[in-house]
Structure 1
Amino acid sequence: MTAGIAVADEGLSGDGPDASILWRGDVTPFAEAPARVVIEGVEEENGFEPRLARLVETPKPASSAPPRMLALEKNLLRQVNIRPFGEEERAASRKSGVQLELHCKAGQSPAGFVLSAPNSRLPRGLRLAAVAKTSGGKGFGLSLVPKGEDAPAIPQAKLHTGKTRLPIPLQQSAGEPNQPDVVISCPESAATATLQEFALVPQAETATSVAASHLGTWIWDIDPFLQDPDALLAFARNEQLSELYLQLPLPIESQSQMAALERLHDTLTAAGIAVIAVEGDPEMVLPSGRQNALSRLQALRKIEQKIPLTALQYDIEPYLLPALGRDLPAAWAAWTETIRALSQAWDGPVGVVLPFWMLESKDGLKALDRAAASLAAVTVMAYRTDINEIVAISEPWLAWGGRSGVPIRIAVENGPLEQEVHQVYQRAKEGTLRLASGGKEASAELRTEPVPERSDAPVYRFSHEVRVDMARISFLNDTNKLTSARAHLKHLFSAWPAFAGLAIHDLQQAQREGPEQARIPEQ
């Protein structure tokens, strides 16, 4: 099935036109044909418009998947397994709905219950407490014990009717050994308790409370505000913003333009709003683009003599370049070199904007570690709207920030987006999607008619289409939902010492006509 595709042939450079090819796009070179191919695109008036092809490997068994982070402030009893222990077999449990009934017979030998969540782990980099809500429970103990070790003779906390809180040692690394088990120990006398809830609760850091209150947004076109700085100030005050990321007009073309920029800067800073200059273009990782970025930085240094900038931020996104999008290790290596060069020219660290999925690869983490000394702050594009999902994709960054000493902002999307559609193709003997690979290049071709597979060209048949729920990625200017999320995220993230506030992309979206393409690709 290829009906409804709204484009003609887009062959690779050097290829002649082929009427049988509806669309062609570069893909990551592969040694072994993938199980599936997903064509990602958008819905246009005349049909589906492909944008990129993504190769999907055969899913790993659940047992080999990395452990998932346990959610915060959520009753985890549905997820945990409970295992009684003790030589006299005096501990027994029974599930009653979500709750756990715990029964202990009288005895003097150690006994109790170990609670564990399969293929799960504790959140890293934050101050955390385990909170158990029980009815009854007199004499029961609560402890956190390294895996494989015995519970302490004296429990770390005593359970009682109501909520019992027990601090958890800070976890910094995903590979940190001896993540603790939760152990509920029996008293020596016969006793019964009902465990109603068990949750992980963040404990806010007093030292980060000021930074956690920071809230910013990007203003890509400041021209309307050069003549009316009070309008931008009113917007910032209405949204309770503490910082603005402004794309400044470079080069400054006249004294009047410079004077207007000074008025805008002075109006904002007098009201306590930090002004951060934002720059960025994917081509800044290429030699010519890097030189252009350095030239623009020198222009900013001249501006700063009259309008001191709070910071400088770079939103480069090298993966948007077709050649680097299919070679992410090279993209991140080039990004690191550019950031280092910019930091050196600025005589200090610079801020950066990065997609949340960068840390999902070893090459991304390596690039970030190499650039750490050049970074003043990292703003993570955590473009999701579900609170638990935002926290889960932000947690690796906040833990990294805690280890490296780099402040971390978390950004969400508010603007309208084009309707994204994913067409899924499965490996087959015959199909309308063909992969071609040669050396360091590979491509995917959508064809008008099915073609048979070849030893050097696997083919795929259309399986199904998925319409991406854009409300999962953007708040779409839902003011009530965004306001609630801002408060909840600030509350949760304040437990991470590295957290340096929230940023909202396209907070002014109502003033822009029409949707735009998502700034980060789906991973």
Structure 2
Amino acid sequence: MNEVWSARIPKFEKLPTRIIVEGVDQAGMFRPLRAAIPEAGEMSPAPLPLPIGTDLLADAATRVFGLEERATVTTGSTGSLVMECKAGSAPAGLLVSAGNAYVPREVPMRLLVRSEGEGGFAVAVVDRATGENVWASAEITDAETVLALPSRSWAQKDLPDIRILCPSSSGRIEIRSARLDVPEGGSVPAGAGAWMWNAADALEADGQLEDRLEAGGIDQVYLQLPVAGNSVVHQTDLRALIERLRKRNIDTIAVEGDPEMVSRDGRLHALSRASAISGFIGGSSARQSLAGVQYDIEPYLGGSHVNPEEMWDEWKATIRALADEIGSPVSVVVPFWMQASDAGIRALDDLDGQIAEIVVMAYRTDEISLWQICEPWLAYGADRNRAVRIALENGILEKEWHRTYRRAEKGPLVLEIDVDGTPMVSLGNVSLTMNGEHWWYDLSHEVVIDPRRISFMGDAATMSALAARVAPEFAAWKSFTGFAFHGLDMKAEAAASSRETTK
């Protein structure tokens, strides 16, 4: 076999029928990056947080209830629900279920019901699982009825139903909309953070950098410091830059990042750099000192670990050691899907006291997807008293491809077990017949991931507008500390390939 690429995958008990290879399109050619085994069977989709400000009636399932069958419902021309009730003594009405979605957690919510009709109707929000636990109820008396919903725990994903109750007399009501809202009062953070990996470009900007950052509403800049041997170099120039930025109310935070930091050698190298940064901090005056240190490790990109529990345990050990070396809690950059891993959450919980802020790479460009990613993190931060910053991507990304391979007698993908018992997949450019302890897979289908779903692709104005639009809602959570932008169009913003690494 003419092998072109290999990768390790998690150990399995049963030989997988499918393997997914993810990669990017480079000059019209597929370049594989990682491989995974999809979950076996059809899994029920996980519940998502109900959107704020969106009419819940639009996609809701409805049904009337009552032993006397005295309630009927029709849909109005604008999507409203028109319910008519006959007189009767038994409870009756309309049940509205907003799909597989839960009430956002760790903050009080309000349900705003707009209606027009006769008096005597009532509205209640009940727990779908029991049908009996009433979270809030009120008589519908005017054009807009407000129900205050108590804060739900981060550990719960409670699915609600909205119940519209008939009066004992006959009547008619038109429910025009039902929307979730957050109470006002949260303070919206004034600025945002921005990554600038290349220190040389920052030093050469000569005053223009401050102007660009200030014009872009940036109040935190993440800068990788140049380190040679056991010390930071260009210290005089760096301190002058930090002082100039501080005069514009812009903090400088040192950023470090390399997937290999979770390996033994990588951790030692990272600790050496942390020692140099700590020395730089110790030798700086207050007005020339860093505001903190951030670690953007992304261990899943390194390929050193295929077991998530082992990977996040090593990540935790690295963060703990680095925070100890720096002498203060550090900021950590994490993928949004880390919450889906029990090992990932345990790692974060175990680092209580070592983490100053969690920066979540919530790389989505539409408001609904961004909300679905951010609510779990904002709620987690509120529950754990952790600061949470939301990161958006503006860099130019390549198209991503997800190719699914299925077991076959011939195919370009081969699965084998390495000498240490680790499953390995290799992708070649020819098809061979199954032989010995090798299993072959042939291409079944592929899906193209549009990069515009993940990145604003250089459109900083649209990115900033989205951040400004959702910030008042996010500010309802005490955990929210603002946004961070990656890939801003400025000379000092460098691609990830310009990072100093452990290699």
TM, length-normalised to structure 2: 0.89
Answer yes or no: is 1:493 the counterpart of 2:474: yes
Identity %: 34
Q: Deviations over 1:27-85 (max 9, x none)?
A: 222222333222222222362222222222334243xx322222222222233222333
Q: Which residue of 1 aligns with 2:39?
A: 57
**Residues 251 and 164 of structure 1: CA distance in aligned 2, closer, same or farther (over 3 Å):** farther
Residues 115 and 176, structure 2, Cα contact 8 Å, conserved in 1 = yes
Residues 83 and 113, structure 1, Cα contact 8 Å, conserved in 2 = yes
Answer yes or no: is 1:446 the counterpart of 2:427: yes
Superposed displacement of residue 25, structure 1:
2.7
Q: Deviations over 1:433-478 (max 9, x none)?
A: 2222355311222344433456844332222333220101100112
SS at match of 1:372: coil
| Mapping of residues 294-309 of structure 1, within 5 Å | 294-304=271-281, 305-306=283-284, 307-309=288-290
Superposed displacement of residue 143, structure 1:
2.0
What amino acid sits opposite 1:299 in the alignment? A
Superposed displacement of residue 107, structure 1:
3.1
**Residues 458 and 57 of structure 1: CA distance in aligned 2, closer, same or farther (over 3 Å):** farther
Q: Which residue of 2 aligns with 1:242?
A: 219
SS at match of 1:491: helix
Q: Which residue of 2 aligns with 1:321?
A: 302
CA distance in 2 between counterparts of 1:342 and 1:481 reads: 36
Of residues 406, 410, 414 in structure 1, which corresponds to 2:386? 406
Superposed displacement of residue 254, structure 1:
9.9
Answer yes or no: is 1:121 the counterpart of 2:102: yes
Q: Deviations over 1:227-256 (max 9, x none)?
A: 544211101111011211121222499999
| Mapping of residues 287-298 of structure 1, within 5 Å | 287-298=264-275
Q: Which residue of 2 aligns with 1:25?
A: 7
What amino acid sits opposite 1:75 in the alignment? D
Q: Deviations over 1:362-405 (max 9, x none)?
A: 11111111113311110000111111111111221111101111
What amino acid sits opposite 2:26 in the alignment? E
Q: Which residue of 2 aligns with 1:226?
A: 203
**Residues 507 and 344 of structure 1: CA distance in aligned 2, closer, same or farther (over 3 Å):** same
**Residues 90 and 479 of structure 1: CA distance in aligned 2, closer, same or farther (over 3 Å):** same
| Mapping of residues 362-441 of structure 1, within 5 Å | 362-438=342-418, 440-441=421-422
SS at match of 1:56: coil
**Residues 151 and 275 of structure 1: CA distance in aligned 2, closer, same or farther (over 3 Å):** closer
Answer yes or no: is 1:481 the counterpart of 2:471: no
What amino acid sits opposite 2:344 in the alignment? G
What amino acid sits opposite 1:196 in the alignment? R
What amino acid sits opposite 1:79 in the alignment? D
CA distance in 1 between counterparts of 2:133 and 2:321 reads: 53
SS at match of 1:303: helix
Q: Which residue of 1 aligns with 2:48?
A: 68
Answer yes or no: is 1:271 the counterpart of 2:248: yes
Q: Which moved more, 1:413-422 or 1:379-388?
A: 413-422
Q: Which residue of 2 aligns with 1:175?
A: 156
**Residues 227 and 416 of structure 1: CA distance in aligned 2, closer, same or farther (over 3 Å):** closer
CA distance in 2 between counterparts of 1:407 and 1:374 reads: 12
RMSD value over aligned CA atoms? 2.8
**Residues 507 and 449 of structure 1: CA distance in aligned 2, closer, same or farther (over 3 Å):** closer
Q: Which residue of 1 aligns with 2:190?
A: 213
Q: Which residue of 2 aligns with 1:257?
A: 234
Of residues 306, 331, 336 in structure 2, which corresponds to 1:356? 336
Q: Which residue of 1 aligns with 2:71?
A: 91
Superposed displacement of residue 137, structure 1:
4.8
SS at match of 1:236: helix
**Residues 411 and 59 of structure 1: CA distance in aligned 2, closer, same or farther (over 3 Å):** farther
What amino acid sits opposite 2:248 in the alignment? A
Uncovered stretches (5+) of structure 1, i.e. residues with no partner: 1-17
SS at match of 1:501: strand
SS at match of 2:482: strand
**Residues 397 and 374 of structure 1: CA distance in aligned 2, closer, same or farther (over 3 Å):** same
Q: Which residue of 2 aligns with 1:82?
A: 62
**Residues 458 and 76 of structure 1: CA distance in aligned 2, closer, same or farther (over 3 Å):** farther
**Residues 403 and 155 of structure 1: CA distance in aligned 2, closer, same or farther (over 3 Å):** closer
**Residues 231 and 59 of structure 1: CA distance in aligned 2, closer, same or farther (over 3 Å):** farther
Q: Deviations over 1:306-365 (max 9, x none)?
A: 1322222111111121122x2221110011111112222333321100011111111111
What amino acid sits opposite 1:44 in the alignment? Q
Answer yes or no: is 1:139 the counterpart of 2:120: yes
CA distance in 2 between counterparts of 1:373 and 1:277 reads: 19
Superposed displacement of residue 200, structure 1:
1.7
CA distance in 1 between counterparts of 2:328 and 2:151 reads: 31
Answer yes or no: is 1:38 the counterpart of 2:20: yes
**Residues 25 and 204 of structure 1: CA distance in aligned 2, closer, same or farther (over 3 Å):** same
SS at match of 2:75: strand
Superposed displacement of residue 114, structure 1:
2.5
Q: Which moved more, 1:25-34 or 1:249-258?
A: 249-258
CA distance in 2 between counterparts of 1:279 and 1:92 reads: 62
Superposed displacement of residue 511, structure 1:
7.2
**Residues 28 and 222 of structure 1: CA distance in aligned 2, closer, same or farther (over 3 Å):** same
**Residues 458 and 124 of structure 1: CA distance in aligned 2, closer, same or farther (over 3 Å):** farther
TM, length-normalised to structure 1: 0.86
What amino acid sits opposite 2:278 in the alignment? R
Residues 363 and 392, structure 2, Cα contact 8 Å, conserved in 1 = yes
Residues 432 and 448, structure 1, Cα contact 8 Å, conserved in 2 = yes
CA distance in 1 between counterparts of 2:292 and 2:426 reads: 45
Residues 229 and 263, structure 1, Cα contact 8 Å, conserved in 2 = no
What amino acid sits opposite 1:283 in the alignment? E
Residues 226 and 233, structure 2, Cα contact 8 Å, conserved in 1 = no
Count of paired positions? 491
Residues 278 and 325, structure 2, Cα contact 8 Å, conserved in 1 = no
**Residues 427 and 159 of structure 1: CA distance in aligned 2, closer, same or farther (over 3 Å):** farther
Superposed displacement of residue 180, structure 1:
4.1
What amino acid sits opposite 2:258 in the alignment? D
